Amino acid sequence: MSDLKITFPLTKLPDVDREGGMPLMKALANRKSARNFSSKPLDLKTISELLWAASGINRPDGRRTAPTAVNWQEIDIYITLKEGLFLYDHKNHALKGIIEKDLRAHAGRQHFTETAPVNLIFVSNYNNITGKYADNIEMKKFYSATDTGFISQNVYLYCASRGLITVVLGIVDRDELKKHMNLADQQHIVLSQTVGWEEP
Ligand SMILES: Cc1cc2nc3c(=O)[nH]c(=O)nc-3n(C[C@H](O)[C@H](O)[C@H](O)COP(=O)(O)O)c2cc1C
């Protein structure tokens, strides 16, 4: 699996073993933030599992490993790799190539984002928040932040289970990153999360 390559415009991700990983109580006991990342890349199978754990589809009706209010599914997961910027395509369990440029340095304001192999960027699409909150920015912010928290914790637990390290980042220059990512007006960066192997 580790020789599979990330390619533009689309990389189909390998299937996920839903029986794998360590017992939940052990993963909870190991969950922590850490920042001493090595630059060693993640193989595609690990990226596949990471994204599925984060908020992959886990039921035939298209619902996901992380809940969202009203099932809005408003949080998109972008991923910055050395190879470029990609968007997780939940339906096809694939990576869509977005920009063929290394944007890792912009994923946060701490130096490790630049060399760590993976930064996830959680982006809320406010257009998905419909109904009575369609014109309520405060509630859009509130639900986007809440729904991102569940995804982030899934990432923390997957990392604990897989022996990876991670830290979620609120200190992000959102305006600058949004420009680098060519995001649309209705797309709002909530948090980033760096993932990688621990520097030995
Ligand atoms: C919403 C949120 C934003 C955070 N932002 C940052 C950040 O920008 N940089 C950082 O190094 N850690 C950040 N953290 C990690 C916290 O510092 C960390 O979770 C806290 O110190 C507790 O440590 P633990 O996660 O190991 O339990 C953030 C955590 C949360 C929940």
Ramachandran assignment for 93, one of left (phi > 0), alpha (psi -120 to 50 degrees), beta (any other): left
Got the DSSP string for 13-40?
PPPP-TT-S--HHHHHHH------B--P
Q: For a pocket test of ligand 1, which of 28, 32, 33 has the largest count of ligand atoms closer than 8 A to its C-beta?
A: 33
pLDDT value, residue 8 = 86
Q: For a pocket test of ligand 1, which of 150, 167, 171 has the largest count of ligand atoms closer than 8 A to its C-beta?
A: 167
CA distances from 134 to 24, 40, 156, 191 (A): 37, 43, 31, 22
With a cut of 70, list the residues of the chain below it in pLDDT.
Answer: 1-4
pLDDT value, residue 4 = 66
Q: For a pocket test of ligand 1, which of 35, 155, 169 has the largest count of ligand atoms closer than 8 A to its C-beta?
A: 169
HSE value, Cβ hemisphere, 13 Å, CA-based, for 49: 22
pLDDT value, residue 1 = 40
Query: Does the C-beta of 111 come closer than 6 Å to ligand 1?
Result: no
**From the CA of 32, how far away is ligand 1's center (Å)?**
9
- The protein residue whose alpha carbon is closest to atom 1 in ligand 1 is 170
d(CA 2, CA 19): 20
| Cis amide linkage into residue 117, ω under 30° from 0 | no
Query: Does the C-beta of 33 come closer than 6 Å to ligand 1?
Result: yes
d(CA 152, CA 166): 10
Query: Does the C-beta of 40 come closer than 6 Å to ligand 1?
Result: no
pLDDT value, residue 7 = 85
**From the CA of 86, how far away is ligand 1's center (Å)?**
24
Domains and CATH numbers, the chain: 10-196 (3.40.109.10)
Question: Is residue 24 packed enough to be buried (19+ CB in 10 Å), middle (13-18) or exposed (0-12)?
Answer: exposed
Q: Is the pTM of this model over 0.95?
A: yes
